[in-house]
Structure 1
Amino acid sequence: MNQVNIREVAEEIELQTEDTRVLVDKIGGKVFQVSEEALVDVEDGEDFSHLLEWQREERHLAQHILENETRYIQLPDCSEVNEYQMMEAFINSLEDEQIHNDLLRAIRGKGAFRRFKDQIVTYGVRDQWFEFKDEQYRLLAIEWCEENDIPYKK
């Protein structure tokens, strides 16, 4: 099996949405996105000859995936990633007690993500947050690859 690019895997885990599946080809080492709609259409035997070219291509990909299920493995979906815990870990990594305490207060209750984003800008730690978050997604991707015996390159 070819190695997957761990950076690409990490980005796909972070950016995927509820209406798409992101899968790794265990043979080719490539990462693919396919919509739930395309998978359902293929499973239901829908005719897709009338669709736009890119939609037909996606249906063909979905068909290939469904016909070769053992070849593909799905990345953790967005429901399996807890970005709130990432925010807490980031806050706990900060040495400045004032920033730490204010950010902890910011993430309590409704609107936590918005307040957190505002506060990291206010305190000038926005870039630190993005570096921290990128590293957390990279570590998550490595852990996933190792759990699923997927070789990867850094």
Structure 2
Amino acid sequence: MKVKLSDIVDAIEMMDRYSEYFLDLETGKIEWVSDMTMTSAEKEEVYDRLDEHGFCRLPSSFDINEYDIMESFIDTLSGAVRDKLSSAICGRGAFGRFKDDIRRMGIEQEWYDYQEAVYKRKAACWCEENEIEYEE
């Protein structure tokens, strides 16, 4: 079974601290479990199916450190843009300031392209570590 790397990337993009994503090893389907939007019965149904088929847990929001990704993006920049964004991500409200500043600087798409490439690398590494075949 091959999984689509884009499915794993989509799950990584949607990840938050209240959700978990799993790869069903029998079907290749990505299963989602949310503490915020699912009832206990709904979550139990997904867990039962995963236990029956076998599964791998996708990286969590703690494994995908957005702050580190922002820092590495900033490291690709130079001059005043780099300095401004380096300052923006210090202290409380770092994510909001970062997003506001990249919008004002006109590099928002550059950021999203960079972030997507990082997610794709992380997804491919996760597949390789778990010996899961994938296709682009």
Among residues 76, 89, 93, which one is paired with 1:93 in the alignment? 76
Give the superposition deviation at 1:89.
Answer: 0.7
Once the two structures are aligned, what percentage of the paired residues are identical? 31
Q: Unaligned regions of 5+ residues in structure 2, if any?
A: none
111-120 vs 22-31, greater mean Cα deviation: 22-31
Match of 1:44 in 2: none
TM-score where L is the length of structure 2: 0.89
Instruction: Give the residue type in structure 2 aligned to 1:112.
Output: A
Calculate the aligned-residue CA RMSD, in Å: 2.2
Q: Unaligned regions of 5+ residues in structure 1, if any?
A: 42-47, 49-54
TM-score where L is the length of structure 1: 0.79
Give the superposition deviation at 1:35.
Answer: 3.2
* Residue pairs, 1:41-120, within 5 angstroms: 41=40, 55=42, 59-68=44-53, 71-94=54-77, 96-120=78-102
Contact 1:38 1:62 in 2 (8 A): no
Give secondary structure in 2 for the equivalent of 1:17. coil
CA 1:38–1:106: 2 relative to 1, 3 Å: closer
Contact 1:38 1:59 in 2 (8 A): no
1:125 aligns with 2:124: no
Offset from partner CA, 1:32-78 (integer Å, 9 cap, x none) = 1123589994xxxxxx5xxxxxx4xx64332222344xx10100111
Give secondary structure in 2 for the equivalent of 1:14. helix
Mapped partners of 2:16, 2:26: distance in 1: 25
State how many pairs are aligned: 136
Match of 2:2 in 1: 3
Give secondary structure in 2 for the equivalent of 1:127. helix
CA 1:29–1:107: 2 relative to 1, 3 Å: same
1:27 aligns with 2:10: no
99-108 vs 11-20, greater mean Cα deviation: 11-20
Q: Radius of gyration: which is bigger?
A: 1
Give secondary structure in 1 for the equivalent of 2:62. helix
